[in-house]
Amino acid sequence: MNKLQLKDLYDGFRNPEVIKGFSKLINEEAKQLKYPINIMEVCGGHTHSIMKFGLPQLLPENINFIHGPGCPVCIMPKERIDHAYILAQQEDTILVTLGDMIKVPGSKGSLQDARAKGADVRFVYSPLDTLKIADENPDKKIIFFAIGFETTTPMTTALIDIVLKRGIKNIFFHINHVTVPEVMVELIDSRDEHVDSYNNRIDAFLGPSHVSVITGSKIYEKFPKKYHRPVVVAGFEPVDVMEAILMIVRQFNESRCELEVEYKRSVSYEGNLKAQALIEKYFEKADLFKWRGLGNVPESGYRLRSEYSNIDAEKIYSDILPKEEIEDHKLCICGDILRGMAKPNECTIFGTACKPSTPLGSCMVSSEGACAAYYKYGNLL
Amino acid sequence: MNKQITLAMGNGGEENNELITKIFYKAFKNEILEKSEDAAVIHNGELAFSTDSFTVNPLFFPGGDIGKLAICGTCNDLAMMGAKPKYLTCSVIIEEGFATRELEKIVRSMKKELEDNGAVVVSGDTKVVPRGSVDKIFINTTGIGVIEKQGISSNNISKEDVILVSRDLGRHGATIFAAREGIELTSDLQSDCASLTHQVQALIKAGVNITALRDATRGGVSAVLNEWAKQSKICIEVNEDTIPVSEEVEGICEMLGFEAVNLANEGTFVLAIKKDDEQKTLDILHSFQNSNNAVKIGNVSDAYLGKVLLLSSYGTKRFLDTPTGELLPRIC
């Protein structure tokens, strides 16, 4: 028997014939749609897949994607990047974070700039890699700048758990974890005065599968029930996305409005209860978390519970971390893009003043941001 | 441009181009330099001349070491202009405390690779600097080669050409990334680090109608194709499912969110060859172990001038851009 190869795991989900088959079915069924539908893929990973695989080219004109706010790097407000920048410049300090974060500019510059000026900034694949850095640098303070949605949150809590259980004294945490459902509510039910538009054009949601592996699909219950938006939890391969779109189209054609799971291979209704318990143990919801381009969103971010103040970098360094709000760049329309009111190429600075090498707005920052994805793959479309 | 030099400016991509154009080309401006080829063509088109510095970390990696790399890198740049490498210089900056035994090992690799290329080191320089001034050892090599086929240039590619790659992509980049980040692989992934002189010489001897050659180092094949598309004012259309990528490299890319076309290679080259010579070229490349999976990946068109178009097997298309920024993994 041949040994199992990685390709075997994803090949079926990238099979050209299956993709074409779904395209045909969707085009057929979409003819019955009474009006064009806009599907928001909440997660930047989906935006990336949609652009990378060129899926809009396979869909009829009455199905559109609205690229959502689900890139943890893109939504990080300048205030919090400034925190990271300042923390990184403290003496005998190593700031540790995940990949793309080091490119994002705050008001003082990016972590990449801080590093060029001599700060010790490192990126890791797994938060647990921070343990090795702390072990090798016992005389330094290691600050883990934690970012990400529900998918990465349990990894941070696992690190916290180890740090506390082993009594490690030189690892501290700056928590910037955010949650998906709250920002979805914000997008369709906005009361925020920061934003000049109260409209949105979202008819249905594509929910990210990896978030639901942790949280279960239950977190989306209220969207069909209370907000009348169907949600399909979908994987990231092209076949997954195409199947989920077909499921959404069928809901509209059959006048259903439901929560469905396309990614049945790993998502359950309840999710990973152990991971949820760890999050509950160490974190609580902050009243407000500011999202770049969207403003303050209630209950959308986590912070460390007060009993863990001794490892909370935001509290320990509160004297030097600025608290003033910073306005977003005037010409940047990230807020409207995230709400589905505008496409990236409708922005006046798209591709000129704002591009992946010099991003101004949040959506240009990570390869998963809507603007960066458009810049890279989409000027064709 | 940034007030400080960032790592992104050395990535072989967009920021790197900006740094070179705005600082070095501006100051050193001349006709030969501005051709922006792998090696400068001098002395009435008879000689190719090139230089490269090597700072790889780790110094020893699966498939090679900094010594082998230092010879291959410069010799390959010469080979890409149709030249046979002849004379090299070798300049070494060593950090205080570096193990003599490791230096010997590196120099042995250099010697072996020089012999393979039929080239000799004819001049050198050694500096030892205080601890912390360099990271262990940096090597510069500069080389001169005799051009055996004139007129190879990345400025002359046309619709009469097809685009080939000499082997599967991204091995060096993936190997170094895995080694540097301590990603433990239970595989035999090795850098593609190798000299390309023999392959190029064989193509020239067989009279293959070569338009352009370029080894796909930093920035990978996508940087090469984008440079070519811009320099020759053409559109290069690549069929995505023909791009050769090994199982191991694909695995690392899937895991970290990279694309093999953006990863560095050190013994892989891209060829623009006249259409009629496609099969002949492939037959020759296939006779070498290092290029036995050489394959055609694309054609030249005038659809989007200066751009590289990637065509999927299910009928969609997108642009393949020059890589930007540091090579960073996606978060989720």
* Average pLDDT along chain A: 89
Contact criterion met (CB < 8 Å) for A20 and B318: no
B169 and B299 inside one domain: yes
Copy the structure tokens of residue A149: 């949605």
Q: What is the mean pLDDT of residues A140-150?
A: 96
Separation of alpha carbons B231 and B157, rounded Å: 9
The number of beta carbons lying within 10 Å of the beta carbon of residue A27 is 15
From the list B258, B238, B218, the residue with the least C-alpha distance to B318 is B238
Domain-located, residue B134: yes
B166 and B315 inside one domain: yes
Nearest CA in chain B to A111: B6
Contacts of B330 in chain A (CB under 8 A): 45, 48, 99-100, 366-368
User: Residue B326 has what pLDDT?
Assistant: 61
B175 and B315 inside one domain: yes
B140 and B185 inside one domain: no
Quote the CATH superfamily of domain A71-328.
HypD, alpha/beta domain 2 (3.40.50.11740)
Contact criterion met (CB < 8 Å) for A112 and B6: yes
Whether the predicted pLDDT of B49 surpasses 50 = yes
Whether the predicted pLDDT of A357 surpasses 80 = no
Nearest CA in chain B to A22: B314
Separation of alpha carbons A180 and A298, rounded Å: 12
Contact criterion met (CB < 8 Å) for B331 and A380: no
CATH number of the domain where residue B297 is located:
3.90.650.10
- Among the candidates B113, B147, B181, a domain finishes at B147
Copy the structure tokens of residue B19: 């740094």
A-B contacts (CB, under 8 Å): 115
Residue A227 near residue A189, CB atoms below 8 Å: yes
CATH number of the domain where residue B83 is located:
3.30.1330.10
Q: What is the mean pLDDT of residues B166-173?
A: 95
Model confidence over B206-260: pLDDT tens digits? 999 999 999 999 889 999 999 999 999 999 999 999 999 998 898 888 877 788 9
Kindly indicate the confidence band of residue B15, based on its pLDDT and cuts at 50, 70 and 90. Answer: confident
- Among the candidates B87, B120, B147, a domain finishes at B147
Kindly indicate the confidence band of residue B327, based on its pLDDT and cuts at 50, 70 and 90. Answer: low
User: Residue A194 has what pLDDT?
Assistant: 46
Contact criterion met (CB < 8 Å) for B6 and A113: yes
Contacts of B242 in chain A (CB under 8 A): none
Q: What's the ipTM?
A: 0.78
Domain-located, residue B197: yes
Name residues whose C-beta falls within 8 Å of residue B270's C-beta, 6 or more positions apart in sequence: B163, B164, B165, B166, B213, B214, B215, B216, B221, B224, B225, B228
What is the torsion angle, in degrees rounded to the nearest 10, for the CA atoms of residue A153, residue A155, residue A161 and residue A164? -90
Domain-located, residue B326: no
Domain-located, residue B156: no
B125 and B173 inside one domain: no
Q: For residues B182 and B293, which has the higher predicted lDDT (pLDDT)? A: B293
Contact criterion met (CB < 8 Å) for A103 and B321: no
Contact criterion met (CB < 8 Å) for B328 and A99: yes
Nearest CA in chain A to B18: A357
Contacts of B235 in chain A (CB under 8 A): none
Which residues, in sequence order, are bridge partners of residue A259? Answer: A231
Angle at B196 between CA B36 and CA B148, to 5 degrees: 70
Phi, psi of B44 (to 5 degrees): 55, 35
Whether the predicted pLDDT of A72 surpasses 80 = yes
Domain-located, residue B226: yes
Kindly indicate the confidence band of residue A195, based on its pLDDT and cuts at 50, 70 and 90. Answer: very low
Angle at A327 between CA A322 and CA A331, to 5 degrees: 150
From the list A175, A183, A158, A146, the residue with the least C-alpha distance to A291 is A183
In Å, how far is B144's CA from the nearest CA of chain A?
35
Contact criterion met (CB < 8 Å) for B314 and A210: no
Distance set, CA A16 to CA A26, A56, A306, B255, B298 (Å): 15, 15, 52, 22, 19
Residue A143 near residue A122, CB atoms below 8 Å: no
Separation of alpha carbons A53 and A59, rounded Å: 12
How is chain A split into domains, by residue range?
71-328
Residue A14 near residue A174, CB atoms below 8 Å: no
B270 and B229 inside one domain: yes
Contact criterion met (CB < 8 Å) for B331 and A55: no
User: In one letter, which amino acid is B305?
Assistant: L
Residue B49 near residue B87, CB atoms below 8 Å: no
Q: Which residues of B touch A (CB under 8 A)?
A: 2, 4-8, 14-15, 18, 181, 183, 241, 247, 250-251, 254, 256-257, 304, 309, 312-319, 321, 324-326, 328-332
User: Residue B3 has what pLDDT?
Assistant: 78
In Å, how far is A256's CA from the nearest CA of chain B?
31
What is the total residue count of chain B? 332
Domain-located, residue B138: yes
Strands (E), A140-218: 141-148, 171-177, 204-208
The alpha carbon of residue A96 and the mean position of all alpha carbons in its chain are separated, in whole angstroms, by 19
Asked which of A356-365, B48-57, B197-206, B320-329 is least confident by mean pLDDT, the reply is B320-329
Contact criterion met (CB < 8 Å) for A6 and B254: yes
pTM (2 decimals)? 0.85
Number of domains in chain B: 2
The number of beta carbons lying within 10 Å of the beta carbon of residue A106 is 21
B193 and B135 inside one domain: no
B178 and B132 inside one domain: no
Model confidence over B111-144: pLDDT tens digits? 999 999 999 999 999 999 999 999 999 999 999 9
Whether the predicted pLDDT of A379 surpasses 80 = no
User: Residue A2 has what pLDDT?
Assistant: 63
The number of beta carbons lying within 10 Å of the beta carbon of residue B149 is 18
Contacts of A7 in chain B (CB under 8 A): 247, 250
- Among the candidates B116, B147, B178, a domain finishes at B147
Contact criterion met (CB < 8 Å) for A376 and B331: no
B76 and B122 inside one domain: yes
User: Residue B332 has what pLDDT?
Assistant: 44
B166 and B261 inside one domain: yes
Domain-located, residue B60: yes
Strands (E), chain B: 40-42, 47-54, 60-61, 64-65, 83-95, 120-129, 137-147, 161-165, 210-215, 235-239, 269-274, 295-301, 308-311, 317-319
Contact criterion met (CB < 8 Å) for A356 and B325: yes
From the list A303, A315, A328, A286, the residue with the least C-alpha distance to A78 is A328
User: Across the beta sheet with B161-165, what order do the strands follow?
Assistant: B210-215, B269-274, B161-165, B295-301, B235-239, B308-311, B317-319
Angle at B65 between CA B122 and CA B90, to 5 degrees: 15
Which residues, in sequence order, are bridge partners of residue B142? Answer: B51, B89
Q: Mutate one of A22, A58, A112, A368 to test the B interface: name it (highest B CB count within 10 A).
A: A112
By residue range, what is the domain housing residue B94?
Answer: 35-147
Nearest CA in chain A to B6: A116
DSSP for A328-347 reads PPTT--HHHHHTTSS-GGGS
User: Residue A193 has what pLDDT?
Assistant: 47
Q: Mutate one of B249, B314, B322, B327 to test the A interface: name it (highest A CB count within 10 A).
A: B314
Domain-located, residue B5: no
Q: For residues B269 and B186, which has the higher predicted lDDT (pLDDT)? A: B269
Contact criterion met (CB < 8 Å) for B331 and A210: no
Q: What is the mean pLDDT of residues B55-76?
A: 93
Residue A208 near residue A46, CB atoms below 8 Å: yes
Kindly indicate the confidence band of residue B184, based on its pLDDT and cuts at 50, 70 and 90. Answer: low
**Bond preceding residue B58 cis, omega within 30 of 0:** yes
From the list A105, A73, A79, A74, the residue with the least C-alpha distance to A326 is A79
